[in-house]
A and B are shown apart, each in its own frame.
Chain A
Amino acid sequence: MNKITRRNFLKTWQGVVGAFATLATIPSLYYWWWDQPHKPNNTENWIDLGKAKKIKENLWLKRPISFDIQDRWKTRTIKEMLYVFRMGKSVTILSSICPHAGCLIKTENNGFICPCHNSFFDNKGLVVEGPSPRPLDSMEWTVKKGRLYVKYEQFRSGIGTKELLG
């Protein structure tokens, strides 16, 4: 039997500890990937935006919405901002999230500007100037019994096509 010296004792322990550490690291790292809700940040439900006729015509209006999503063990309230434009019976609803890097756009000169990287959009949400890869994302809407409902969806930023997040 080998005599246990300090050196080979440490060497053995190095191996054992190393092996256990690796065994523990892999599931730990895997957990971070595994524990991310793959549910998109949107809701199945239609969100009520109030009486359609009450919405001022010919004007971009800010409409904050909030809805609950199930996030792991808890219900989380998500707040988002929408821009609503009504012209007679047709409505346009745009997301306020810039398709470039995810900042919020604001209205300026009959159009929109993203203050982060100076993307300009016209009043239909099309890109006039700047680095945005696609027009502003429009939302599906419907009118039932005189009330305007919107189906909120969020799309991946930074790409040219509208790809649903999630």
Chain B
Amino acid sequence: MTIKSIFKISAGISFIFLSLLMVTGWGLGGGYIPSDSEAFSSILYLRNMGGVGQMIRSLHFYLSSSLIISGFIFLISFYILGYVSRFTKQWYFSLIIYFLIVGSCFTGYLLPMDQNAFWGTLVRLGIVETIPFFGTFIANILRGGLTIGSETLSRFFTIHSSIIPIFLSVISLVLIQSQWENIKLIVSRASILYGTILGVILLYYWAFSFSAPLELPANPIDVEYIPRPEWYFLWLFEFGKYVEWAPWIRSALLPLLGTLFLFGLPFIKQQSSKQRYTIAITWCSVWLILTGITLYADRNLPDKLDYEAAMFVEAKENYQSLCYDCHGSTGKGDGPQSKTFSLESPDFTLMAYWDQTSNDQIIKAIKDGKGEDMPDFKKKLSQQQIEELLNMMKISYRPKY
């Protein structure tokens, strides 16, 4: 496969990804509520409903990562082919589109309002805040205040779903119009068309099989949570741990230099195609190696738990601290305290118990207590936690047959 065909395929596929992102975004907009108290619940509802809502969310999530990658490949091959100085206008438009896509990722990140979203955005806004002179100003405008709240969500939502898409559409249309003759040639090439279709089908399959992650709802006082960025930013993040640089170097100088370099590329003396190839490959492999090293260095960090898994862990902890004393660690009702009771504790490992007791009865017993020995837990556990506890008991103790 030549660089030229990679260039063409990545252009086509990026464009299709972008269109699909907008369309799946419309779908998500039908159920999402950008508010402090309801954002997470609306996404969780969508996820628990399964079916098409869940599929659209997964698709939207994986499309955005794929677009970042395919857009990156497009820009790299744009450079290697030496088109940068020949098609300066198109290069600039592509760069602007790419920056808008990155901005869209930045704002879309917060919208589910789970732990990952909250802490990721908090750290990023913290970095924005260290930009000299304008930092606090920009961060306050984005946040709509001094902390992340409902206004932050609605502002991010507006940028993500209205401002950026409009600019993207206009710029894409200008780009397509100026390149129509070339695009006609690309579209008429059967192999490229089939390659693109295959890519999209693979992505649909992926989105069907793996659902987009969702963690526990944002908790601003959870000191145990370890925020980590996406894998492609990980090296920069790890670098910050070992190198003590002034904060403005990371937040202002490096991005500024990077942007100037990209926009100044057309004016830099052109190397031969072989040199360009070497430069691009070197940069990419340095980044890959750094990412590999940091992934290896971070291998011992606990995995980020998905909502269900995290709830399960929490339910187990609750069981250990509240139920273990009487019901025992295996659910047989043989905990250390149970010997002093007049009535026997129920055995959760018997099918008879589950046949005779309904979910509502168990929930009521946990909430209000039962008999002389079972205390009430309605002050210690929320409804959600009680339901999760019941779920955990079913999965861990109820016999399978």
Contact = CB atoms under 8 A, between A and B. Distances in A.
Do the two shown chains form a genuine complex with each other? Answer: yes
A56 B147 CA distance: 32
A32 B147 contact: no
Interface string B25-61: 0000000000000000000000000000000000000
B225 interface: yes
A71 B137 CA distance: 19
A130 B242 CA distance: 8
A98 to B, nearest CB: 9
B141 interface: yes
Interface stretch (A3-11, A46-54, A135-143, A150-158): A150-158
Interface size class of A (residues with CB under 8 A): 35 or more
A36 B144 contact: yes
A62 interface: yes
A36 B227 contact: no
Contacts of B155: 32
Given A32-B155, A130-B241, A156-B136, A101 B145 contact: no
Given A37-B145, A76-B149, A115-B226, A81 B126 contact: no
A133 B247 contact: yes
A25 B225 CA distance: 40
B129 A158 contact: yes
A116 B223 CA distance: 11
A159 B246 CA distance: 10
Contacts of A37: 145-146
A61 to B, nearest CB: 12
Given A79-B220, A80-B220, A102 B122 contact: yes
A76 B170 CA distance: 39
A78 B129 contact: no
Contacts, number: 86
A158 B226 contact: no
Range of interface residues on chain B? Answer: 35 or more
B244 interface: yes
Contacts of B245: 131
A104 B222 contact: yes
Contact of B149 (A71, A79, A81): A71
Contacts of A62: 223
B129 A157 contact: yes
Contacts of B141: 32-33, 36
A65 B79 CA distance: 54
Interface string A95-128: 0100011111110000000011110000000000
A27 interface: no
Contacts of A80: 220-221
A154 B146 contact: yes
A79 B129 contact: no
Interface in A48-77: 62, 64, 71-72, 76
Contact of A104 (B129, B221, B237, B247): B221
21 contacts: A33-B137, A33-B140, A36-B144, A36-B145, A41-B147, A71-B145, A71-B149, A72-B151, A80-B221, A96-B223, A101-B123, A101-B126, A102-B125, A116-B227, A131-B240, A131-B245, A131-B247, A156-B136, A157-B126, A158-B130, A166-B146
Can you list the 6 inter-chain pairs with the closest CB atoms, starting with the nearest? A101-B126, A158-B130, A102-B126, A81-B221, A115-B226, A106-B223
Interface of A: 32-33, 35-37, 39-41, 62, 64, 71-72, 76, 78-81, 96, 100-106, 115-118, 130-131, 133, 154, 156-159, 165-166
